[in-house]
Chains A and B, each alone.
Chain A
C-alpha cells in the first residue's frame, strides 16, 4: 500500500522548520520527515475494528504545521511514530455495505477498548478523553497521529465502527472532506458562550473561518457576525455564508469600534508628524468590542488582535490550532476576558442551538453497542450536525482542488498558499489517481 509516512527524524524536523520559516507554509514538505512509501497496510485485530478504503482526505492546517515543523511539542506523548497523517477522511467500508463514511478521528476510550471509559467518554465528550495513550492500540490523540490505525494520506486504514458516519448520497466524495472541519467549527460555536444578541468576530476566512461563519448563522443566528478576510474571494464567501460585516484584517479594529461606538486607545498619540509607520492608525485596543471572538488562526497576532477587539468580560474561543505564541496577556487580565479552547468534536447540547426554526437532523451515527456511548437525551453528535450543515450551506464547494497522493508535494505547497491562489480546502486522493481538478 502506498502512503505518506511521517517518521521521527529530528534533523529533518529541524530542517523543515528552518525551511518553512524561510519559504512559507507547505514549502517545507520535501525537506520534512514526510515521505511517500510502500508500506504494509495497518491492521488492528481488536473487536469493532475494520479496514476502510480512503476516497479522499483533506489537508488540515495542523497537517501543514506538522510538515512545517511548527506544531506544538505538546503532542509528543500522544502520538506514536511512524504515523500516516491525514484525519479529514472520506472512505468506503469493506464490510459488504459499500457505505461511504466520514470518520470521527479521535481515538478515545471506545476505540481503545477501555471499559469502563473515562468520565468524559462515558458522557459522550470523547474529544476530551484522558486515555489517549492507553488501551489496545498505540498512543495517538486521533487517527493521523497513531501508528496502529494508519491515516488518511494512504490507500486504506483501520477504524473503529464507533467512529463512522454514513455520507448521504447528495454529498460527493470530495465535498465530504469538508465535514470533519465543519464538525470542529460547530463544536466551537456551540460552546454556549454565544447568545442571539451577540456580536461575534471571526478571525480568518480560510476553511475554519468560513465553516464557523456558516455554523454561527445556522445554529445561533447572532445579531452580528463580523469576519476578517484577507482576500476578496474569501470576503465574498463569508458574506454568502452569513457574515453581516466583512473587513480586511488591517481595518478590523476600526470596524469593530464602529459597530460598538466605543473608544479606541493607543497608537493615535504618536508625535510623528506624518504618521508613516504602516501600523499607524491602527488603534491598539477598544473600550467596547465583540462579545465573542472566534480565533481561527491561532497565531500570536491573531490572539493579540482577538484580545484588543473583545469587550470586557467577553470570550475568545480558539479553534485554530495554536502553537507556541508570544502575547501580552495584560488586556486579558484587566478586561476579564475568557480565553477558551475548542478541540475537535464529540457531542453537542441541543439546548445551545439558538437559531429559531432549527430542526435537529436524524442520526447517521453507526450505532455501536459494545460500550454505552449513546447520545444523551437532548444531545446530538457533532458529526450529525456537521453533515446536516454541509448539505444546507453547500459547504462542499469549499473543497477547491484535489491531487493524487503521489503529487503530495504540490498539494502541500498549494495548501500552504491556497488562499493566495483563490482556494480554500485542498485534498489528496489515493491510488485511483484522478487528474487534479480545480473547482474554484
Chain B
C-alpha cells in the first residue's frame, strides 16, 4: 500500500531538506519547528491500461452511450488531445494519449469511419514539433495521419477555422475550432496531472480562440479563483463550465476521455528526488552526490539538455470516459487521492524549490516569468480551503531565475520582460495598458501560427496566474536567483536561506512559522 501524504515537523536531528533549484538542487536546513509537506507515495498503476481504456470506452459514465454506438460510417470524427505541456516530464513511450487514441481508432475503423482528423489542443501554446507529436501519438498513428494532413494543431488565430457558437449568460464569447465544432463527434483525450486540468476546460480552452479565452484568463478571474486548482472555488472554472455547457447546447457532441497518472515522476537514478530525506539509502545518497557533482561542473545548457531528455515512468491510475462533467468528477477524485495531504493552519512563510520545468517550457528554457508562474501560479495554488501561507505572508522560492529566454518559443515573453515588467508588475494595470497590443501584434501572431511560439498574450496569462498570490502575499523572495531578473519581477533576492528568512522577518515578525512544499512530486494541500 502506498503511504499517504506526510507532514514532518523539523527537529534539530532532522536531515537537511532537498530543494529543487532549476537544473540543480540545494540541501537546506530549515528552522526547527518548520513543517515539511510530503505528498502521498505514487499510487499503484493499473495493471492492464489498455484493457482499462477499452472498458472505459465500453461503459461510459454520465449521460453517454458507449463509444462504439456513437460511431457510424460517413460520419465526421475529430479526436482532440492535450498538447506537449502534459505530462511533466514527458512520459516513457507509449504515451497515454497514444494508447487511448489507438483504441478509439480501432473502434472507428471497425465501424467504417473514414473521415477522422486529429487536433492537438494547443489553445494559445506553441505548436508541437513532429518529434514531439510522434512521441505523444506513437509512430503508427503519426505516420498514418500526418502525411495526409489529418494530424492538425489547433490555430486560435485562423479565422477560417474558428466558429462562434454564441455568448454565455455572462456575455462570454464561445468561439472554438470549426472542424471540432462541426464534427458528428468530438472525442477529447486528456491527461490530468493537476486538478485544474480537464473537464469543460479541455474543449472550452484547448480548442478556443483568444477572443474566447480572454474572458476567463484575466486578472479579475484569477484573483477570484481561490484556488484555480479547486474547481468549486475557481472563477476560471465557472467560466469554462458556462462555456462548456453552451458548447454542448450548440449541438457539439463531446465524448470526453480523462486519465490520471501516478506521481512516479522520475526514473530510478533520480530516485532521491521523491524520497523523504531521512529514508535515503546509500544509493539515494550516491545518486544525489553524483548528480550534484555532475551538475556543478556542467554548463547550464548541457544540464538543461540532460534534464529535458528525462522521460518519466508515470503510469496510469485511472481512465474514464463519457459525458464531460461526470467523467471529470471521477478524475478529480482520483487526482486528489494521489495528491491530497491534510494540513492544519496556515503559516507565515511558505518555501518551495522549483525544478527546471513547468508546463510551458518543455524542451525549452524556464525563463523568469515562468519561474514566477510555477511558484506563485501553480505551487501557491496547490490548496483547497485556504492557502498554505497566511494573508500578508511571504513565499520563498528557490530557483536560479536567470535572465534567459527561448527566442523561438517565447518571443513575446522577452518583450514583456523588457517593456511591461520594467513599467509595472500590477496585473490589472498590465492587462489594461498592454494586453491588447501584445495579443494582436502581427509578428507574434505570425510566429504563433507558423513557427513554434507561444501566442503573444501568453506571458500576460502567466503573470495573471500569479495575481491571487501577489494579492495575498506581502513579499516574494527568490533564493539563489539572479538579482537583476528577480528585481525586474518585483521580488527580493537572497543568496542563502538565512538571508531569505531575515528579509521575510521584516514582513511577518521575528519568529515566523514556516511550511515547506516538498516536491517532486506535486501535492495538493487541504488546509483547514
Contacts of B419 in A (CB 8 A): 255, 258
Bound: A257/B441 CA distance, A: 10
Contact B301 A276 (CB under 8 A): yes
Distance from B404 Cβ to chain A, minimum over Cβ atoms (Å): 8
Q: List which B287-307 residues lie within 8 A (CB) of chain A.
A: 300-301, 304-305
Chain B residues with CB below 8 A from A263, complex form:
442-443, 446
Residue of A255, A264, A281 with most chain B CB atoms under a 10 A cut-off: A281
B437:A251 contact, CB within 8 angstroms: no
Closest B residue by C-beta to A286 = B443
* Complex: A121 Cα to B86 Cα, angstroms: 74
Contact partner, B304, options A247, A255, A274, A281, Cβ 8 Å: A274
> Which parts of B346-366 form the interface with A (CB within 8 Å)?
363-365
Looking at B300, B442, B443, the one whose CB has the most chain A CB atoms below 10 A away is B443
B405, B406, B442: which has the most chain A beta carbons within 10 Å?
A: B406
Contact across chains for A268 and B365 when beta carbons are under 8 A apart: no
Known A-B contacts A262-B443, A263-B443; A268 and B408 likewise in contact (beta carbons under 8 Å): yes
- Determine the chain A residues whose CB is within 8 A of the CB of B437 once the complex forms: 261
Q: Is the CB of B415 within 8 A of A275?
A: no
In whole Å, how far is B362's beta carbon from the nearest beta carbon of chain A?
A: 11
Least distance between B414 CB and chain A CB atoms (Å):
6
Indicate with 1 or 0, residue by residue over B406-436, a CB within 8 angstroms of chain A CB atoms: 1110010011001100000000000000000
B315 interface residue (CB < 8 Å to A): no
- Residues of chain A with a CB closer than 8 A to B365's CB: 274-275
Instruction: Confirm or deny: A254 has a beta carbon within 8 angstroms of a beta carbon on chain B.
Output: yes
Kindly provide the distance from the CB of B296 to the nearest chain A CB, expressed in whole angstroms: 18
Whose C-beta in chain B lies nearest to the C-beta of A245?
Answer: B419
- B374 an interface residue at 8 Å Cβ cutoff? no
Q: Is the CB of A251 within 8 A of B418?
A: yes
Contact A273 B305 (CB under 8 A): yes
B492 within 8 A of A: no
- Chain B: minimal CB distance from A288 (Å): 10
Q: Per DSSP, are chain A's interface residues mostly helix, strand or loop, or mixed?
A: loop
Chain B residue contacts of A280, Cβ below 8 A: 407
1/0 per residue, CB under 8 A from B, across A252-287: the answer is 001101100111100111100111100011000000
A281 neighbours in B (Cβ, 8 Å)? 405, 407, 411, 414
Residue from A247, A254, A268, A276 within 8 A of B447 (CB atoms): A268
- Interface range on chain A (Cβ under 8 Å from partner): 20 to 34
Task: Flag if A275 contacts B418 (CB, 8 Å).
Answer: no
Q: How far is the CB of B447 from chain A (nearest CB, A)?
A: 7
CA distance A264 to B301 in the complex (A): 26
* Contacts between chains A and B (CB distance < 8 A), count: 52
In the complex, the answer to whether B305 meets A268 with C-beta atoms within 8 Å is no
Q: Which residues from A are CB-within-8-Å of B363?
A: 273
Q: Are A274 and B305 in contact (CB under 8 A)?
A: yes
A247 touches B418 (CB 8 A): yes
Residue of B nearest to A276 (CB): B301
B residues near A257, Cβ cutoff 8 Å: 443
A273 surroundings in chain B (CB, below 8 A): 305, 308, 363-364
Nearest A residue (CB) for B300: A276
Q: Give Cα A281–Cα B412 distance, bound, in whole angstroms.
A: 11
Interchain CB contact under 8 A, B418 and A255: yes
Known: A251-B418, A269-B451. A261 touches B411 (CB 8 A): no
User: In the complex where A255-B419, A268-B451 touch, is A275 in contact with B407 (Cβ < 8 A)?
Assistant: yes
B157–chain A nearest beta-carbon distance, Å: 15
Contact B415 A258 (CB under 8 A): yes
Contacts of B408 in A (CB 8 A): 268-270, 275
Distance in angstroms from B369 CB to nearest chain A CB is 14
Please report the C-alpha to C-alpha distance between residue A439 and residue B82 in the assembled complex, in whole angstroms. 62
Chain A: CB-nearest residue to B407: A281
Chain A residue with the shortest CB-CB distance to B441:
A261
> In the complex, what residues of A have CB within 8 A of residue B405's CB?
275, 281
Residues of B within 8 A of A270 (CB): 407-408
Contact A275:B446 (CB < 8 A) given known A258-B415, A261-B437, A269-B451: no
Between A247, A255, A261, A273, the greatest number of chain B beta carbons within 10 A of the residue's beta carbon is seen for: A273
Interchain nearest-CB distance for B146 vs A (Å)? 20
**Which single residue of chain A is at the shortest CB-CB distance from B409?**
A275
CB distance from B145 to the nearest CB of A (A): 25
| Closest A residue to B437 using CB positions | A261
Q: Given the complex, which residues of A lie within 8 Å of B447, measured CB to CB?
A: 268
Q: For A267, give the chain B residue with the smallest CB separation.
A: B407
Across the interface, name the chain A residue whose C-beta is closest to B363. A273
Complex contact B443–A261 (CB within 8 A): yes
CA A264 – CA B415 in complex, angstroms? 12
Nearest A-chain residue to B417, judged by Cβ: A251
Which A residues have a C-beta under 8 Å from some C-beta of B?
247, 251, 254-255, 257-258, 261-264, 267-270, 273-276, 280-281
CB pairs A–B below 8 angstroms (28 shown)? A247-B418, A251-B418, A254-B418, A255-B419, A261-B441, A261-B442, A261-B443, A262-B443, A263-B446, A268-B407, A268-B408, A268-B411, A268-B451, A269-B408, A269-B451, A270-B407, A270-B408, A273-B308, A273-B363, A273-B364, A274-B364, A274-B365, A274-B406, A275-B405, A275-B406, A275-B408, A281-B407, A281-B414
* 4 pairs of A and B residues whose beta carbons are closest in the complex: A281-B407, A276-B301, A263-B443, A251-B418
Give B contacts to A, CB under 8 Å: 300-301, 304-305, 308, 363-365, 405-408, 411, 414-415, 418-419, 437, 441-443, 446-447, 451
Taking A254-B414, A261-B437, A264-B443 as known contacts, 13 extra A-B pairs with beta carbons closer than 8 A to each other, sorted by chain A number, are: A261-B442, A262-B443, A268-B408, A268-B411, A269-B408, A270-B408, A273-B305, A273-B308, A274-B304, A275-B407, A275-B408, A276-B300, A281-B414
